[in-house]
Structure 1
Amino acid sequence: MPLPEPRLLPLGDAALTVEFGPAYTPEAAARARSLDRQLQGTEGIVERVATLRSLTIHYDPRRLSLRRLTALLRGLAPAAETEAEGARWMLPICYEGEYAPDLTDLAARLGMPPGEVVAIHAAGRYLAAMVGGYPGYPYLAGLDPRLAAPRRTTPRIAVPAGSLGVANEFTAIYPQTVPGGWNLIGRTPVPLFDPLREPPSLVATGDEVRFRPIPPAEFAALAEGFRAGADPVALCRA
């Protein structure tokens, strides 16, 4: 079946959104990532922002006109491959105690023991379909359908940095302490976002992420190591 034609939506006089569908699908997200890669290094493009179903292109109209940009886009054919095309990460996660405040309740709603929720989640291979919402916040596609659950009815005012959540068809890690309403089933000591690091976000769109369960004692030791300057890239690159 042929892929639907993307919609080109001008945003003022210096930005354009290429929309691949009305809602998230793995194919729409893959086409956004593919187009993002194809446009890398294009003269006149200032910034590109990939989302779950679109790519927004910020350009300098003095160097690249809307007409030229539109013609360029119509000549490209973004692929819809849904496999990871970036770095691969293995992140340590503590699925126990205070680090997993919603695990027991979520397991009860799903009709399975908490240990089974952990086993299913930790066995997954996840694709960073988008990074956004908060700086360094990866939306990870590939959640086992058995773990799909809606967001909490009452969001938390402050979700601790590193918290691992699930909501609907995604799992994600909060990179900072921020408000949030996802079901929290674990936490990582790995700093996902550091404005002094280059690049600041550890996980990028298109990366593959897997999880390694760890006990609280190892969580504490790793957290102390990162505070002392340990390199998360060296530790977590798979």
Structure 2
Amino acid sequence: MISAGSPDPTDGDYVEIWSPASVTASWEQTLLDLSAYHGQTIYIAFRYEGSFAHTWHLDDVSVSVQTPPTKTLNLTDVRLEHLFVTGTGGLMNQAYNAGGPQYTAPTADVIIVELHDAATYATVLRTYTGVALSQTGTASIPDIDLPDGNYRITIKHRNSIETTSMLPVDFTGAIVSYSFGTQASAYGNNLKLIDGFYCIFGGDVNQDGQVEGLDVSEIENGVNAFSTGYLPIDVDGDGSLGISDYSIWENNNNT
């Protein structure tokens, strides 16, 4: 019997989860699945029901955790507008700080990847920060400890529009792959076509989910302060502030 409430058997919280089909005179091993009580404090009790035995015995009662096999998520065609270079077959520049590339090649920049519950998007099941995004638009996340099921994939970046998979993605098996290479791959078709490749919109400096006046205000403040470096207000990712930062913002303003 098991209880997720009180350990007192007289409180009526215990429910029967198993009973033997018959009574034998030899030892029997029984394995019970307690996954329905994952994350809860539980109490386990044993009750003898019978009229003929003077004694009964239990031996080696233990509870163990079985870790599900991990998964690897491989993302492709994740291109950031502000780093995208036309005429290169889909390559991105590296994001710069004031002295040069922020990350070692072939990393273009880093992103945040979230996995959301398929039925309730507001429920974030896993968050992976500092995920390396290559100059070819690929990213890989190993050791994802989620059971088989469907999950939505969300991509976040320091000055880009949050972008989510159009539909829940099947996470059955050890390797999961998803491409953001078509407009229909993103929720709301929220990708921008540039030179034959779909890119994530840039310019959301304050990360409020839209490109608007508040973003350009922060850019202007940085320009006036002669700011340089690997900054969210450096929209084009070249390590300094200039007209190209304004251009990306202006093109996407209230798009």
TM-score, normalised to structure 1's length? 0.27
